[in-house]
Amino acid sequence: MVALGYTSTSEVTLDEMLHHCRAVARGTRSSFLVADMPFGTYETNPDQAVTNAVRMIKEGKAEAVKLEGGKEMAPTIARLTQVGIPVLGHIGLTPQRQASLGGYKVQGKTVAKAKAMLEDALALQKAGCYAIVLEAVPEPVARHITNVLSIPTIGIGAGAGCSGQVLVQQDMLGLYGRVPRFCKTYRNLADEIVGALKEYSADVKAGVFPAQEHCYPMPQDELNKFMNMIEQERQEADAENKMEEKSIAAADFVP
């Protein structure tokens, strides 16, 4: 949504995600690269999920995939892990399903829903997930789920009780405008970037950029030759123009 301007995460395609993954993989040295499975690429059946996850690994250079959903996705996760594809689970607020959740709202706010979320987490763990993302979950619920599980949890809007944390980079750097309540904006780079672009535009219009220090020089002897060449070409052009003017003038007097 922040990179491509979509109104929801459900719009992104598999080919677009493969493009993103390859770009990230080229810049990755030691990080573990996890790729989100786009909406519609894993829900039909486990075989569909395997086919598309294999593309993520082979073409996208990802090392693991992430998919959304609770116990209903356990068979798919089990199938993926059985063929050697690591899976990161994702429960709580699942952005690809936000329409069915009534929007981007906190999940697990009642005892019944918190209990169901724990059951989902245990099912994903049993299916083979190596970790689970908990998004937009009350802190006590996320902490309890983390304590019960034997695999790590990654929180995004789920409090400090999770094993790790994740934020959208554009949000934490203040590049995207309005951010969720759970996001801490560590820098407001949008103002800095817009200010820099305005200064650049003004410098170009005023003719002060690029200045001499931003230009590449020529060796002095080559520069002299170049300037002599330009002068010679100018003189030759002037001579040709004069010849043409004389020819036109002579033609005007032909009876």
Q: Looking at the chain, how many residues does it have?
A: 255
**What is the sign of the dihedral through the CA atoms of 62, 20, 76 and 106?**
positive
Rounded Cα distance between 83 and 252, Å, is: 90
- Spatial neighbors of 55 by CB under 8 A, at least 6 apart, are 14, 18
Whole-Å CA distances, 234 to 180, 224, 228: 64, 15, 10
Helix pair angle (46-58, 74-82), 10° resolution: 50
Residue 84 token pair = 């050697």
Residue 174 token pair = 């203040």
- Spatial neighbors of 179 by CB under 8 A, at least 6 apart, are 171, 185
Which DSSP category does 106 fall into? -
Q: In what order do the strands lie in the sheet with 87-92?
A: 34-36, 64-66, 87-92, 131-135, 153-156, 164-165
Whole-Å CA distances, 82 to 40, 73, 76, 101: 21, 14, 10, 31
The residues annotated with a catalytic role in the active site are 135
Rounded Cα distance between 131 and 158, Å, is: 15
- Cβ atoms 61, 50 nearer than 8 A: no
